[in-house]
Amino acid sequence: ELKVEQNPLFLSMQEGKNYTIYCNYSTTSDRLYWYRQDPGKSLESLFVLLSNGAVKQEGRLMASLDTKARLSTLHITAAVHDLSATYFCAVDVAGTASKLTFGTGTRLQVTL
């Protein structure tokens, strides 16, 4: 059974600081997805990582994938309040009929 673990589960950080969210998974996969969810809202796709060593950046967020370590990171640079949200990673395992397994989420709170 595929397990996807995120840490930390909750992160409070000051504006301007850098931090990294980690996503570990238990089965071989070379496809990983990051989503953002604002309180009371739906999930928004942020990044699609499709191979080992893939790196994607959008604004202050950068995601990377290391399939050998079964690890993805979401790095936040110089955080701003607007980045406050819950971030989920999800893993796609080949041969599982297009199903995603989600981590439990990291709630990020950026304080002024």
Partner 1 sequence: DAGITQSPRHKVTETGTPVTLRCHQTENHRYMYWYRQDPGHGLRLIHYSYGVKDTDKGEVSDGYSVSRSKTEDFLLTLESATSSQTSVYFCAIKALAGINEQFFGPGTRLTVL
Name the residues that contact partner 1, by CB under 8 A: 4, 31, 33, 41-45, 48, 50, 88, 90, 92, 97-105
| Shortest distance (Å) from residue 108 CB to partner 1 | 15
DSSP 35-100: EEE-TTS-EEEEEEE-STT-EEEETTEEEEEETTTTEEEEEE-S--GGG-EEEEEEEE-TTSTT-E
Please tell me what DSSP assigns to residue 9.
S
Nearer to partner 1, 105 or 110 (CB): 105
| Shortest distance (Å) from residue 24 CB to partner 1 | 14
Nearer to partner 1, 13 or 100 (CB): 100
Residue 99 exposure: Cα atoms within 13 Å on the Cβ side: 6
Nearer to partner 1, 52 or 104 (CB): 104
| Shortest distance (Å) from residue 17 CB to partner 1 | 25
